[in-house]
Amino acid sequence: MAQLSYRDAVARGIAQEMRRDDRVVLVGEDVAGAGGVFKTTVGLLDEFGPHRVIDTPISEQAILGAAMGAAMTGLRPVAEIMFSDFFAVCWDLVVNQIAKTRYMTGGQVTLPLVIKTGNGGGLRFGAQHSQSIENWAMAVPGIKVVTPSTPEDVVGLMAAAIRDDDPVLFCEHKGLYSMKAEVADGEIVDTLGTAKVRRAGRDATILSLGMMMPRALAAAEDLATRGIDAEVIDVRSLIPLDTRTILASVAKTGRLFTVEENPQVLGWGAEIAAIVADEGFWDLDGPVQRITTPHIPLPSADSLEDLVMPSAESVASTVEKALQS
């Protein structure tokens, strides 16, 4: 056991898999010599050398294209898109090429690749460097999407993503890079498509992911002092989605809340709310409520950014008010 930061966990997960399988390679802007702009790939160039850890030009389309072509022909690449906002620059490669090619070729092509990216806000980087785009990816058939919220999950889900034979979008949260936690030594391999109940409870189900997870947990602790026992679930994987765990929780509590960093319209919780409204309808004891950033670009001023993103306080007060009305 040792203290491991979220950012170091990224490097640890990749290294774990690169040691195990020669076909795993890492490619991206500033990932090799500099160890990544967020220092998530420190030490990898030293350990694995310049043939396996590669610095690229600023060419997002070329980076993802290279990852796809290599994955089609025997390698297992990990490609980095530095800020997830930049997916807009190479979205064609993600949704038209990577997501669809296996299907269109009748299964002739397999794409065991991982795209890792720095996702999310809270760091005052402004609207073009702070977005959470996991909901964009969730909407496209053919890509798996994971959003770890703890260092341990980073290692385990990175390993699972690399070992998976399908394309996986690995959304690191920039706001969690400094987070530290105790993580076991040795190999860690998690399972895609599994949510985790972080806090069991009886009165309400709160779903969250990424940087909203610590806020949801803090809200639950606050609610407990006011007699509301909330169950908090870390969704962790949007595609595949662990609907079973979510529906079982709603069957127990009857109340569902999501805490989403995405702007309101069609955030990741919208789909889950729809599923619960359908398949969990008879368990609902009140309206499903999504606690999200409003439908606006993210402002850069710290006071404004903090105002608009969901906080532990806003989550707790929303849940409490809902349960009392």
Partner 1 sequence: MRSPLSDHRYGEHGVVLPPERGDRNDGVDIDAATRMRLYRSMREMRVFEKRAYDLFMKQLVKGTSHLSLGMEAIAAGFGVAMRDDDYTFATYRGHAHTLARGVPMTPVLAELLGRANGLMGGKGGSMHLTSVEHGMMGSYAIIGAHLTIANGAAWSAQYRRSGQVTVCFFGDGTTNIGAFHEALNYAAVYRLPIVFVCENNLYMEYTSISDITAVPHPAADRAGAYGLDAVVIDGNDADEVHLTAVGAIDRARSGGGPSLIEALTYRHGGHSRADPGKYRPGAEVEAWKAYDPLTVYRERLVRLGVPESDLDAVDAAALALVDVATEEAVAGDLPAPESAFTDVWADGGWSWRN
Partner 2 sequence: MNSTRRHVHTPRVRRLARDHGVALDGLVGTGPRGRVTTTDVLHVEAVTTLSRNEMGAAQPSRATPAAGPSQTTAVIEVDVTRVAKGTHALLAAVVEAAVAALRQALPDRGPGVGIRVVAHEGGRARTIRDADRLSMAGLLHALEIAPDGPGAGIGVGPRHGAQPEDRTLAVHDAGGEGFLFESLPMAVGDLAALSVGAPVERVAVIVQPDGERGIGVRTCVHLALTYDDQLSRAAVAKMLAAVRTRLEGLGQSVGGGSS
**What is the H or E stretch that residue 115 is in?**
strand 114-119
CB of 72 to partner 1, least distance (A): 6
Task: Check binding of 324 to partner 2 (CB under 8 A).
Answer: yes
Which window, 106-114, 119-127, 177-185, 218-226, contacts partner 1 (CB under 8 A)? 106-114
Token pair 């779903």 is at which residue?
A: 207
Which window, 30-38, 109-117, 216-224, 279-287, contacts partner 2 (CB under 8 A)? 279-287
Task: Check binding of 254 to partner 2 (CB under 8 A).
Answer: yes
Q: Is the CB of 14 or the CB of 228 nearer to partner 1? A: 14
Assign 257 to helix, strand or coil. Answer: strand
Torsion of CA 82, 86, 90, 93, to 10 degrees: 60
**Which one of residues 133, 159, 239, 323 is an interface residue with partner 1 (CB under 8 A)?**
239
**Which one of residues 242, 260, 305, 320 is an interface residue with partner 1 (CB under 8 A)?**
242
Q: Is the CB of 108 or the CB of 324 nearer to partner 1? A: 108
Q: Is the CB of 286 or the CB of 297 nearer to partner 2? A: 286
Task: Check binding of 172 to partner 2 (CB under 8 A).
Answer: no
**Residue numbers 248-307 binding partner 1 by CB under 8 A:** 275
Residue among 147, 121, 280, 116 nearest 213 (CA)? 147
Task: Check binding of 282 to partner 2 (CB under 8 A).
Answer: yes
Tell me whether residue 173 is one of the annotated catalytic residues.
no
- Please state, in angstroms and rounded to a whole number, the distance separating the CA atoms of residues 163 and 192: 10
**Which one of residues 193, 218, 229, 264 is an interface residue with partner 1 (CB under 8 A)?**
193
Residue 321 CB: number of other CB atoms within 10 A? 10
Residues 6+ apart with CB under 8 A from 119: 84, 131, 132, 133, 134, 147, 171, 172, 173, 174, 210
Q: Which does 281 bind (CB under 5 to 8 A by kind): partner 2, partner 1, none?
A: partner 2
Q: Which does 190 bind (CB under 5 to 8 A by kind): partner 1, partner 2, none?
A: none
The site string for partner 1 over 121-150 (x = CB under 8 A, - otherwise) reads --------------------xx--------
Q: Angle at the Cα of 39 (from 37 to 240), degrees rounded to 5?
A: 95
Task: Check binding of 244 to partner 1 (CB under 8 A).
Answer: yes
Residues 6+ apart with CB under 8 A from 244: none
**Which one of residues 72, 157, 206, 209 is an interface residue with partner 1 (CB under 8 A)?**
72
Assign 317 to helix, strand or coil. Answer: helix
Q: Is the CB of 66 or the CB of 309 nearer to partner 1? A: 66
Assign 52 to helix, strand or coil. Answer: coil
Dig out the tokens for 36 from the structure: 């990544």
CA distance between the termini of the chain: 45
- Please state, in angstroms and rounded to a whole number, the distance separating the CA atoms of residues 69 and 72: 5
Distances (CA, A) of 104 to 41, 94, 98, 218, 268: 34, 14, 11, 46, 27
Which window, 34-42, 59-67, 276-284, 298-306, contacts partner 2 (CB under 8 A)? 276-284
Q: Is the CB of 5 or the CB of 318 nearer to partner 2? A: 318
Q: Which residues partner with 164 through β-bridges? A: none
Which window, 56-64, 109-117, 230-238, 281-289, contacts partner 2 (CB under 8 A)? 281-289
Check 51, 129, 173, 295 and give the catalytic one: 129
* Whether the Cβ atoms of residue 66 and residue 27 lie closer than 8 Å to each other: yes
Instruction: Give the interface with partner 1 as residue ranges (CB under 8 A).
Output: 25, 51, 56-57, 59, 61-62, 64-75, 77, 92-93, 96-97, 101-110, 112, 141-142, 164-166, 193, 239-244, 275
Which residues are near partner 2 by CB under 8 A? 254, 281-286, 324-325
As annotated, the active-site residues are 129
